[in-house]
Chain A
Amino acid sequence: MTAVSGEEHGAERPSEGQGRGAVRSGSEPETQPEAPTNAGAVTNAGTTTNAGAPTNAATNAATSAPPNDPTPVTNGAAPVKRRRAPLSAGARAERRLGWALCAPAVIVILAVTAYPIGYAIYLSLRRYDLRFPDDSKFVGLANYGTVLTSSLWWQALAVTAIITVISVAIQFALGMTLALVMHRALVGRGLVRTVILIPYGIVTVVAAFGWRYAWTPDTGYLSHLFGDATPLSSQVWGIAVIILAEVWKTTPFMALLLLAGLALVPEELLRAAKVDGATAWQRLTRIMLPLMKPAILVALLFRVLDAFRIFDSIYVLTAGAYDTRSVSILGYDNLFTALNLGVGSSLSVLIFLVVALVAFIFVKGFGTAAPGGEGRR
């Protein structure tokens, strides 16, 4: 989308745009233009061209300005720029407007993430028990030692990893099936698409209560079906129910992302493959899945990182009892039950590092095709 418009504008404005338009059009068509991995030069150059156009009139007016006008205040702050011509007044105004428009959002985002994470690192280096707030002092990495030598942390990490991997795998398989059903259905595709949005819209806590009552003898129908089973009071079955709740809640999201990806698969290609004798399975694995790769990666990345943060359902279903704690539950318990801000903060930092590592592996492992999408939960 952007690539195309960028080129158009480039053509309109040969003086400034050409070279950059070429950079843009040279990139592989499948690459997401906004992917952060290649966000530097390519995107920036492309959009520079792109935006030159609307200010045509302004630029023309600005030609009267001295050509060697020492450019921007901001040149130093923008290492990615490879601008040959000095900025016109219009372009500079545009830059300022761009920054001005983004500033409030950036400030809010940074104020509530970067600063607190820094503060969490600071707190994690101190002994800070909320019951004895005056007894706070610098203890170095002792809190990290406490956490990393605690079996609770490793167990929570393992439980979280198990929940994440299994639930995302099931979500992917089910989501793909649902997407195919919605894509191919002869009847009721609109109905299905509406109904599967309901789990997405339901508050996670509410859904978790629904599952908790369903699996509790006396109040539950599922429990009755399995001979008054009490899965929520054992580790393995507790985790199974947590995964079930997670799968139920977020498969629709996965299905919708995959459905959008399915729309990118050309119908003729599938028909041609069918004529050539490819089975349905071959058509799925050899044609659809490879073509849907970008959509699949985005969906998987977001689901994995989202599942890793799991908190609400566990809090309601088992409250972390029977060793079903996720790392988020552990962090919460340390803060509000143990009232230990120092250890709680070191947990925060460690969780953040694990998530960053997972995201990094994802983006590295899958290259530039990774996220151009958006975050949701």
Chain B
Amino acid sequence: MATIASTAGGRTAAATTTRGRRPSGERNALLGWSAANLVIIAISLVPLLWLVSLSFKTPDSITDGKFIPRHWTFENYRGIFGESLFTRALLNSLGIALISTVLAVVLGSMAAYAIARLAFPGKGLLVGLALLIAMFPQISLVSPLFNLWRQIGIFDTWIGLIIPYLTFSLPLAIYTLSAFFREIPWDLEKAAQVDGATPLQAFLRVIAPLAAPGMVTTAILVFIFCWNDFLFAISLTSTERSRTVPAAIAFFTGASQFAQPIGSIAAAAVVITIPIIIFVLLFQRRIVAGLTSGAVKG
């Protein structure tokens, strides 16, 4: 509370002094910032808006190069939702990303709690390991995993994708969560332990509820990561049984039954982008906090 108030106060004070000193420059400064903002917003959004525009165009006007479609149509959307190639991929994407997210947050919370709170040898090693994995080139795993998964029979299954997703999202989860866990008022945990709770009970009853915001943030970041993955999705799957949307979209072009793959690809792209954008807009503050936690605070 106090921090919020003081920051806000400081900001206002700074703003008023600037304005007070140079009243004539105020309008120019505002205009300048607004222009800068507009440029940033336009650059961020235009490639996406172009896909939206393409997705609403009819097959014969798709190449007209107009930003606003002349003839609006929902045909592309109807087309992709009528095809199991896409609907099945959507289901795969959702299922795989959700399961991976839940697992990553659960396992990550356990490890992050230990890192933030408990003394045990090997902790530094663990943190270093997580860091290493975060930088690991995924392509290096593709050939061995491809072969292994075929041998143990989980090639082209959900679990075959969930496992590598889990591996690569765990470092992210551990770092973000342990940064959040350090902010928790630990006196409460101590109090619980004085009252006779075991460390595990203290974790489940006291810390977990306090840690929920951090866990939500982590879940969002992990979900975005899994939703985004392409390399594993095209390498470790071969049919629509487990192919996720990014992979399916890439294969629209080659093996498409649609008249106009461009329209279908654009529509599919818009469909899988909408949920993420809603996520991002709703949880903007959390995502920023999550992305920058740990990086600076250490």
Please tell me if the beta carbons of A78 and B123 are within 8 angstroms of each other in the complex. Answer: no
Scan A250-284; emit 1 where CB is below 8 A from any B CB, else 0: 00110011011101100100000000000000000
* List of A residues within 8 angstroms of B281 by Cβ: 194
* List of B residues within 8 angstroms of A351 by Cβ: 137, 139-140
Scan A167-192; emit 1 where CB is below 8 A from any B CB, else 0: 00000000000100100011110011
- Give the distance in Å from the alpha carbon of A372 to the alpha carbon of B178 in the complex: 12
Q: Choose from B40, B130, B183, B186 the contact partner of A181 (Cβ within 8 Å).
A: B40
Q: Choose from B54, B127, B199, B250 the contact partner of A219 (Cβ within 8 Å).
A: B54
Please tell me if the beta carbons of A2 and B128 are within 8 angstroms of each other in the complex. Answer: no
Please tell me if the beta carbons of A54 and B186 are within 8 angstroms of each other in the complex. Answer: yes
Taking the closest CB of chain B, its distance from the CB of A176, in whole angstroms, is 14
Q: Choose from A36, A192, A194, A294 the contact partner of B128 (Cβ within 8 Å).
A: A36
Please tell me if the beta carbons of A207 and B295 are within 8 angstroms of each other in the complex. Answer: no
Taking the closest CB of chain B, its distance from the CB of A168, in whole angstroms, is 14
Please tell me if the beta carbons of B231 and A332 are within 8 angstroms of each other in the complex. Answer: yes
A227 within 8 A of partner (CB) = no
Q: Choose from B115, B131, B174, B246 the contact partner of A371 (Cβ within 8 Å).
A: B131
B87 within 8 A of partner (CB) = no
Please tell me if the beta carbons of B228 and A204 are within 8 angstroms of each other in the complex. Answer: yes
* List of A residues within 8 angstroms of B18 by Cβ: 186
Please tell me if the beta carbons of B124 and A43 are within 8 angstroms of each other in the complex. Answer: yes
Scan B167-182; emit 1 where CB is below 8 A from any A CB, else 0: 1001110111001001
- Give the distance in Å from the alpha carbon of A58 to the alpha carbon of B194 in the complex: 9
Please tell me if the beta carbons of A335 and B284 are within 8 angstroms of each other in the complex. Answer: no
B166 within 8 A of partner (CB) = yes
Most buried by A among B111, B281, B292: B292
Q: Choose from A56, A112, A199, A299 the contact partner of B295 (Cβ within 8 Å).
A: A299
* 8 A Cβ contacts from A233-260 to B: 248, 252-253, 256-257, 259-260
Contact A98 B120, CB 8 Å, known A93-B199, A205-B249, A349-B140? yes
List the A residue with the shortest CB-CB distance to B147.
A341
> Secondary structure of the A side of the interface?
helix
Please tell me if the beta carbons of B126 and A102 are within 8 angstroms of each other in the complex. Answer: yes
B47 within 8 A of partner (CB) = yes
Scan A34-65; emit 1 where CB is below 8 A from any B CB, else 0: 11100110011001111111111110000000
B143 within 8 A of partner (CB) = yes
B200 within 8 A of partner (CB) = yes
Please tell me if the beta carbons of A51 and B139 are within 8 angstroms of each other in the complex. Answer: no
Please tell me if the beta carbons of B291 and A257 are within 8 angstroms of each other in the complex. Answer: yes
Please tell me if the beta carbons of B145 and A261 are within 8 angstroms of each other in the complex. Answer: no
Please tell me if the beta carbons of B131 and A123 are within 8 angstroms of each other in the complex. Answer: no
- Give the distance in Å from the alpha carbon of A349 to the alpha carbon of B142 in the complex: 11
Which of under 10, 10 to 19, 20 to 34, or 35 or more describes the interface residues of B? Answer: 35 or more
Taking the closest CB of chain B, its distance from the CB of A187, in whole angstroms, is 5
Most buried by A among B137, B246, B284: B137
Which of under 10, 10 to 19, 20 to 34, or 35 or more describes the interface residues of A? Answer: 35 or more
Contact A98 B139, CB 8 Å, known A54-B190, A209-B51, A328-B231? no
- Give the distance in Å from the alpha carbon of A324 to the alpha carbon of B111 in the complex: 41
* List of A residues within 8 angstroms of B37 by Cβ: 181, 185, 187-188, 191-192
* List of A residues within 8 angstroms of B142 by Cβ: 331-332, 335, 348
- Give the distance in Å from the alpha carbon of A371 to the alpha carbon of B294 in the complex: 10
- Give the distance in Å from the alpha carbon of A359 to the alpha carbon of B44 in the complex: 30
Q: Choose from A78, A298, A332 the contact partner of B235 (Cβ within 8 Å).
A: A332
Taking the closest CB of chain B, its distance from the CB of A121, in whole angstroms, is 9
Scan B11-34; emit 1 where CB is below 8 A from any A CB, else 0: 000110010000000000110011
- Give the distance in Å from the alpha carbon of A374 to the alpha carbon of B265 in the complex: 33
List the B residue with the shortest CB-CB distance to A346.
B143
Please tell me if the beta carbons of A213 and B30 are within 8 angstroms of each other in the complex. Answer: no
- Give the distance in Å from the alpha carbon of A334 to the alpha carbon of B297 in the complex: 42
* 8 A Cβ contacts from B126-177 to A: 126-148, 163-164, 166-167, 170-172, 174-176
- Give the distance in Å from the alpha carbon of A53 to the alpha carbon of B36 in the complex: 51
Contact A248 B170, CB 8 Å, known A101-B110, A345-B144? no
Taking the closest CB of chain B, its distance from the CB of A279, in whole angstroms, is 17
* List of B residues within 8 angstroms of A209 by Cβ: 51, 249, 265-266, 269
* List of B residues within 8 angstroms of A220 by Cβ: 50, 65
Please tell me if the beta carbons of B147 and A123 are within 8 angstroms of each other in the complex. Answer: yes
List the A residue with the shortest CB-CB distance to B269.
A206
Please tell me if the beta carbons of A101 and B293 are within 8 angstroms of each other in the complex. Answer: no
Please tell me if the beta carbons of A375 and B125 are within 8 angstroms of each other in the complex. Answer: no
List the A residue with the shortest CB-CB distance to B57.
A219
A120 within 8 A of partner (CB) = yes
* List of B residues within 8 angstroms of A305 by Cβ: 135
Please tell me if the beta carbons of B167 and A113 are within 8 angstroms of each other in the complex. Answer: yes
* List of A residues within 8 angstroms of B140 by Cβ: 117, 120, 331, 348-349, 351-352, 355
Q: Choose from A91, A205, A214, A375 the contact partner of B119 (Cβ within 8 Å).
A: A91
Taking the closest CB of chain B, its distance from the CB of A364, in whole angstroms, is 14
Please tell me if the beta carbons of A256 and B288 are within 8 angstroms of each other in the complex. Answer: yes
* List of A residues within 8 angstroms of B48 by Cβ: 198, 202, 207, 210
A203 within 8 A of partner (CB) = yes
- Give the distance in Å from the alpha carbon of A98 to the alpha carbon of B171 in the complex: 17
What would 7 more interface pairs be, CB under 8 Å, given A95-B120, A257-B292? Answer: A95-B119, A110-B129, A120-B144, A195-B40, A209-B265, A311-B138, A375-B171
26 CB contacts below 8 A, A to B, read: A36-B127, A77-B122, A95-B120, A99-B122, A116-B145, A117-B140, A198-B48, A199-B44, A201-B273, A201-B279, A202-B273, A206-B246, A209-B269, A219-B62, A224-B65, A257-B295, A312-B230, A316-B250, A328-B231, A344-B143, A348-B141, A351-B139, A373-B296, A374-B172, A375-B131, A375-B133
4 smallest A-B Cβ distances: which pairs? A375-B134, A39-B124, A374-B175, A98-B120
